[in-house]
Amino acid sequence: MPEKKPSPYFVGGIVICLLGAICFSTKAIFVKLAYRNTDVDPVTLLALRMIFSLPFFVVSAWWSSNQSKNIKFTASQWISVAVIGCLGYYVSSLLDFLGLQFVTAGIERLILFIYPTIVLLISLIFFKAKITALQWLALLVTYAGLMIAFGGEVNFDSPSENFYLGSFLIFVCAITFAIYIVGSGRLIPAIGAAKFNSYAMSFAAIAVVLHFFVTNDNSLLSLDRSVYIYSFTMAIVSTVIPSYLVTEGIKRVGSDNAAIVGSIGPVSTIVQAYFFLEEPIHALQLLGTVLILVGILMIGRK
Protein backbone atom coordinates (compact mmCIF):
# COMPACT_ATOMS: atom_id res chain seq x y z
CA MET A 1 0.00 0.00 0.00
CA PRO A 2 1.30 3.51 -0.80
CA GLU A 3 2.41 5.59 2.15
CA LYS A 4 -0.29 7.93 3.37
CA LYS A 5 0.60 11.57 2.78
CA PRO A 6 0.15 14.13 5.56
CA SER A 7 -3.15 15.98 5.27
CA PRO A 8 -3.18 19.72 4.44
CA TYR A 9 -4.64 20.26 7.92
CA PHE A 10 -1.59 18.59 9.51
CA VAL A 11 0.90 20.36 7.23
CA GLY A 12 -0.82 23.65 7.99
CA GLY A 13 -0.41 22.89 11.69
CA ILE A 14 3.33 22.38 11.25
CA VAL A 15 3.62 25.72 9.43
CA ILE A 16 1.56 27.43 12.16
CA CYS A 17 3.81 25.97 14.89
CA LEU A 18 6.90 27.09 12.96
CA LEU A 19 5.62 30.65 12.61
CA GLY A 20 4.65 30.70 16.29
CA ALA A 21 8.11 29.57 17.39
CA ILE A 22 9.82 32.17 15.20
CA CYS A 23 7.53 34.93 16.47
CA PHE A 24 8.19 33.94 20.08
CA SER A 25 11.94 34.01 19.39
CA THR A 26 11.81 37.69 18.35
CA LYS A 27 11.00 38.79 21.91
CA ALA A 28 14.63 38.86 23.03
CA ILE A 29 15.54 40.83 19.89
CA PHE A 30 13.00 43.56 20.62
CA VAL A 31 14.07 43.75 24.27
CA LYS A 32 17.75 44.10 23.36
CA LEU A 33 16.96 46.71 20.70
CA ALA A 34 14.97 48.72 23.24
CA TYR A 35 17.82 48.54 25.78
CA ARG A 36 20.38 49.52 23.15
CA ASN A 37 18.49 52.39 21.54
CA THR A 38 16.56 53.87 24.48
CA ASP A 39 17.00 54.35 28.22
CA VAL A 40 13.90 52.33 29.18
CA ASP A 41 14.11 50.13 32.28
CA PRO A 42 12.97 46.48 32.32
CA VAL A 43 9.83 46.99 34.43
CA THR A 44 8.56 49.84 32.24
CA LEU A 45 9.23 47.89 29.05
CA LEU A 46 7.47 44.81 30.42
CA ALA A 47 4.51 46.88 31.61
CA LEU A 48 4.05 48.44 28.18
CA ARG A 49 4.30 45.05 26.50
CA MET A 50 1.52 43.66 28.68
CA ILE A 51 -0.65 46.80 28.45
CA PHE A 52 -0.62 46.56 24.66
CA SER A 53 -1.32 42.81 24.85
CA LEU A 54 -4.08 42.91 27.46
CA PRO A 55 -7.01 44.09 25.25
CA PHE A 56 -6.51 41.14 22.90
CA PHE A 57 -6.51 38.63 25.75
CA VAL A 58 -9.51 40.22 27.47
CA VAL A 59 -11.55 40.06 24.24
CA SER A 60 -10.45 36.47 23.68
CA ALA A 61 -11.33 35.54 27.27
CA TRP A 62 -14.78 37.10 26.86
CA TRP A 63 -15.31 35.29 23.55
CA SER A 64 -14.24 31.89 24.88
CA SER A 65 -16.46 32.28 27.94
CA ASN A 66 -19.51 32.92 25.77
CA GLN A 67 -19.17 29.81 23.62
CA SER A 68 -21.83 27.11 23.86
CA LYS A 69 -19.21 24.57 24.98
CA ASN A 70 -17.82 26.88 27.66
CA ILE A 71 -16.98 25.25 30.98
CA LYS A 72 -17.32 27.62 33.93
CA PHE A 73 -14.37 27.90 36.29
CA THR A 74 -14.66 26.60 39.81
CA ALA A 75 -13.26 28.76 42.60
CA SER A 76 -10.11 26.64 42.79
CA GLN A 77 -9.66 26.86 39.00
CA TRP A 78 -9.88 30.67 39.12
CA ILE A 79 -7.13 30.72 41.75
CA SER A 80 -5.02 28.16 39.88
CA VAL A 81 -5.25 30.00 36.55
CA ALA A 82 -4.35 33.29 38.23
CA VAL A 83 -1.37 31.83 40.11
CA ILE A 84 -0.03 29.79 37.18
CA GLY A 85 -0.55 32.66 34.73
CA CYS A 86 1.29 35.14 36.95
CA LEU A 87 4.11 32.69 37.51
CA GLY A 88 4.56 32.01 33.80
CA TYR A 89 4.17 35.47 32.32
CA TYR A 90 4.71 37.88 35.22
CA VAL A 91 7.48 36.36 37.33
CA SER A 92 9.17 34.58 34.41
CA SER A 93 8.92 37.60 32.11
CA LEU A 94 10.27 39.94 34.77
CA LEU A 95 13.28 37.68 35.40
CA ASP A 96 13.80 37.37 31.66
CA PHE A 97 13.73 41.13 31.03
CA LEU A 98 16.08 41.75 33.95
CA GLY A 99 18.51 39.09 32.75
CA LEU A 100 18.52 40.38 29.18
CA GLN A 101 20.22 43.54 30.42
CA PHE A 102 23.40 41.52 30.93
CA VAL A 103 23.45 38.61 28.44
CA THR A 104 23.15 38.31 24.67
CA ALA A 105 19.87 37.32 23.06
CA GLY A 106 21.43 34.06 21.88
CA ILE A 107 22.60 33.00 25.34
CA GLU A 108 19.23 34.01 26.84
CA ARG A 109 17.38 31.74 24.44
CA LEU A 110 19.75 28.81 25.01
CA ILE A 111 19.44 29.02 28.81
CA LEU A 112 15.68 29.50 28.67
CA PHE A 113 15.26 26.60 26.26
CA ILE A 114 16.37 24.02 28.84
CA TYR A 115 12.98 24.33 30.54
CA PRO A 116 11.79 20.92 29.18
CA THR A 117 14.57 19.24 31.15
CA ILE A 118 13.40 21.07 34.28
CA VAL A 119 9.84 19.91 33.57
CA LEU A 120 11.19 16.37 33.48
CA LEU A 121 12.96 16.82 36.83
CA ILE A 122 9.86 18.37 38.42
CA SER A 123 7.83 15.38 37.25
CA LEU A 124 10.42 13.09 38.86
CA ILE A 125 10.66 14.91 42.18
CA PHE A 126 7.03 15.90 42.79
CA PHE A 127 4.99 13.40 40.78
CA LYS A 128 7.29 10.36 41.02
CA ALA A 129 7.39 9.99 37.24
CA LYS A 130 9.84 7.39 35.92
CA ILE A 131 12.75 8.69 33.86
CA THR A 132 14.17 6.29 31.30
CA ALA A 133 17.85 5.82 30.54
CA LEU A 134 17.32 7.69 27.26
CA GLN A 135 15.87 10.65 29.13
CA TRP A 136 18.80 10.73 31.57
CA LEU A 137 21.12 10.73 28.56
CA ALA A 138 19.08 13.58 27.06
CA LEU A 139 19.54 15.58 30.27
CA LEU A 140 23.32 15.08 30.14
CA VAL A 141 23.47 16.04 26.46
CA THR A 142 21.34 19.16 27.02
CA TYR A 143 23.36 20.50 29.94
CA ALA A 144 26.65 19.62 28.24
CA GLY A 145 25.49 21.73 25.29
CA LEU A 146 24.55 24.57 27.62
CA MET A 147 27.95 24.47 29.33
CA ILE A 148 29.77 24.47 25.96
CA ALA A 149 27.75 27.42 24.66
CA PHE A 150 28.12 29.21 28.00
CA GLY A 151 31.88 28.60 28.05
CA GLY A 152 32.22 29.92 24.51
CA GLU A 153 30.49 33.13 25.50
CA VAL A 154 32.77 33.55 28.51
CA ASN A 155 35.98 32.89 26.55
CA PHE A 156 35.18 35.06 23.56
CA ASP A 157 33.45 38.04 25.15
CA SER A 158 35.21 38.25 28.56
CA PRO A 159 31.97 39.10 30.37
CA SER A 160 31.73 41.03 33.59
CA GLU A 161 30.16 39.73 36.78
CA ASN A 162 26.82 41.01 35.47
CA PHE A 163 26.97 38.31 32.81
CA TYR A 164 26.75 35.65 35.52
CA LEU A 165 23.97 37.58 37.26
CA GLY A 166 22.04 37.80 34.00
CA SER A 167 22.59 34.10 33.30
CA PHE A 168 21.36 33.21 36.80
CA LEU A 169 18.21 35.32 36.35
CA ILE A 170 17.46 33.62 33.01
CA PHE A 171 18.04 30.20 34.58
CA VAL A 172 15.58 30.98 37.40
CA CYS A 173 13.21 32.18 34.68
CA ALA A 174 13.52 28.77 33.02
CA ILE A 175 12.60 27.12 36.35
CA THR A 176 9.51 29.28 36.90
CA PHE A 177 8.42 28.79 33.29
CA ALA A 178 8.83 25.01 33.69
CA ILE A 179 6.54 25.16 36.74
CA TYR A 180 4.07 27.10 34.58
CA ILE A 181 4.21 24.36 31.94
CA VAL A 182 3.58 21.64 34.51
CA GLY A 183 0.69 23.58 36.04
CA SER A 184 -0.88 24.50 32.71
CA GLY A 185 -0.61 20.88 31.60
CA ARG A 186 -2.90 19.92 34.47
CA LEU A 187 -5.39 22.77 33.90
CA ILE A 188 -5.72 22.85 30.10
CA PRO A 189 -7.42 19.43 29.72
CA ALA A 190 -10.16 20.59 32.08
CA ILE A 191 -10.80 24.12 30.77
CA GLY A 192 -9.38 24.25 27.24
CA ALA A 193 -6.17 25.70 25.83
CA ALA A 194 -7.50 28.94 24.32
CA LYS A 195 -9.52 29.86 27.40
CA PHE A 196 -6.63 29.06 29.74
CA ASN A 197 -4.22 31.12 27.61
CA SER A 198 -6.53 34.14 27.52
CA TYR A 199 -7.26 34.24 31.24
CA ALA A 200 -3.72 33.33 32.36
CA MET A 201 -2.22 36.08 30.19
CA SER A 202 -4.84 38.57 31.39
CA PHE A 203 -4.03 37.88 35.05
CA ALA A 204 -0.30 38.14 34.29
CA ALA A 205 -0.76 41.45 32.47
CA ILE A 206 -2.70 42.93 35.39
CA ALA A 207 0.02 41.76 37.82
CA VAL A 208 2.75 43.36 35.68
CA VAL A 209 0.91 46.70 35.52
CA LEU A 210 0.30 46.68 39.29
CA HIS A 211 3.99 45.91 39.84
CA PHE A 212 4.92 48.94 37.72
CA PHE A 213 2.66 51.37 39.59
CA VAL A 214 3.81 50.09 42.99
CA THR A 215 7.55 50.21 42.24
CA ASN A 216 7.93 52.95 39.63
CA ASP A 217 7.21 56.69 39.80
CA ASN A 218 7.75 57.28 36.08
CA SER A 219 4.89 58.11 33.74
CA LEU A 220 4.02 55.72 30.93
CA LEU A 221 2.81 58.64 28.82
CA SER A 222 6.02 60.63 28.39
CA LEU A 223 8.50 58.09 27.05
CA ASP A 224 10.53 58.17 23.88
CA ARG A 225 8.45 57.21 20.83
CA SER A 226 10.80 54.32 20.08
CA VAL A 227 9.89 52.71 23.40
CA TYR A 228 6.24 52.57 22.39
CA ILE A 229 7.13 51.19 18.96
CA TYR A 230 9.30 48.41 20.41
CA SER A 231 6.72 47.60 23.11
CA PHE A 232 3.73 47.50 20.76
CA THR A 233 5.57 45.44 18.14
CA MET A 234 6.77 43.03 20.82
CA ALA A 235 3.25 42.75 22.24
CA ILE A 236 1.74 41.87 18.87
CA VAL A 237 4.51 39.92 17.12
CA SER A 238 6.12 38.21 20.13
CA THR A 239 3.20 37.79 22.53
CA VAL A 240 -0.35 37.84 21.15
CA ILE A 241 0.15 36.29 17.70
CA PRO A 242 2.47 33.41 18.72
CA SER A 243 0.43 32.48 21.80
CA TYR A 244 -2.58 31.70 19.59
CA LEU A 245 -0.51 30.27 16.74
CA VAL A 246 1.03 27.71 19.08
CA THR A 247 -2.37 26.90 20.61
CA GLU A 248 -3.85 26.28 17.14
CA GLY A 249 -0.76 24.35 16.08
CA ILE A 250 -0.97 22.03 19.08
CA LYS A 251 -4.63 21.38 18.27
CA ARG A 252 -3.68 20.34 14.73
CA VAL A 253 -0.48 18.32 15.20
CA GLY A 254 -0.33 17.46 18.90
CA SER A 255 1.94 18.74 21.66
CA ASP A 256 4.84 16.37 20.81
CA ASN A 257 5.10 17.53 17.20
CA ALA A 258 4.60 21.15 18.26
CA ALA A 259 7.47 20.84 20.75
CA ILE A 260 9.76 19.41 18.07
CA VAL A 261 8.93 22.22 15.63
CA GLY A 262 9.42 24.72 18.47
CA SER A 263 13.04 23.62 18.69
CA ILE A 264 13.74 26.13 15.93
CA GLY A 265 13.42 28.88 18.57
CA PRO A 266 17.05 29.12 19.76
CA VAL A 267 18.40 28.91 16.21
CA SER A 268 15.98 31.62 15.09
CA THR A 269 17.06 33.90 17.95
CA ILE A 270 20.78 33.40 17.26
CA VAL A 271 20.33 34.16 13.54
CA GLN A 272 18.19 37.23 14.22
CA ALA A 273 20.64 38.47 16.85
CA TYR A 274 23.44 38.19 14.29
CA PHE A 275 21.59 40.33 11.74
CA PHE A 276 19.72 42.82 13.94
CA LEU A 277 22.00 43.12 17.00
CA GLU A 278 25.35 42.28 15.37
CA GLU A 279 25.95 39.59 17.99
CA PRO A 280 28.76 37.27 16.84
CA ILE A 281 28.10 33.58 16.26
CA HIS A 282 30.88 31.41 17.74
CA ALA A 283 31.68 27.81 16.87
CA LEU A 284 31.23 26.74 20.50
CA GLN A 285 27.85 28.47 20.61
CA LEU A 286 26.75 26.54 17.52
CA LEU A 287 28.03 23.25 18.96
CA GLY A 288 26.25 23.92 22.25
CA THR A 289 23.06 24.81 20.39
CA VAL A 290 23.14 21.54 18.44
CA LEU A 291 23.61 19.51 21.63
CA ILE A 292 20.78 21.34 23.41
CA LEU A 293 18.44 20.74 20.48
CA VAL A 294 19.41 17.07 20.34
CA GLY A 295 18.74 16.67 24.07
CA ILE A 296 15.38 18.47 23.87
CA LEU A 297 14.30 16.36 20.88
CA MET A 298 15.27 13.18 22.75
CA ILE A 299 13.04 14.28 25.64
CA GLY A 300 10.32 15.39 23.20
CA ARG A 301 10.06 11.87 21.82
CA LYS A 302 8.85 10.74 25.24
Q: Domain map of the chain by residue range?
A: 9-301
Q: How confident is the model at residue 77 (pLDDT cuts 50, 70, 90)?
A: very high
Task: Kindly tell me if the per-residue pLDDT of 166 is higher than 90.
Answer: yes
- Ranked by mean pLDDT, which of 53-62, 112-121, 239-248 comes out on top? 53-62
Q: Write down the pLDDT at residue 300.
A: 61
Question: CA 214, 219, 224, 225: dihedral to nearest 10 degrees?
Answer: 100
Question: CA 160, 162, 166, 167: dihedral to nearest 10 degrees?
Answer: 40
Q: Provide the total of helices (H) and of strands (E) in the chain, helices listed first.
A: 15, 0
Q: Write down the pLDDT at residue 1.
A: 47
Q: How confident is the model at residue 301 (pLDDT cuts 50, 70, 90)?
A: low
Cα separation, 229 vs 280, in Å, equals 26
DSSP 113: T
Closest CA to 122 of 144, 137, 108, 139: 139
Return the exposure string of 161-182: e unless at least 16 CB atoms fall within 10 Å of the residue's CB, then b. Answer: eebeebbebbbbbbbbbbbbbb
Q: What is the pTM assigned to this prediction?
A: 0.85
- Give yes or no for a contact between 216 and 37, defined as CB atoms under 8 angstroms apart: no
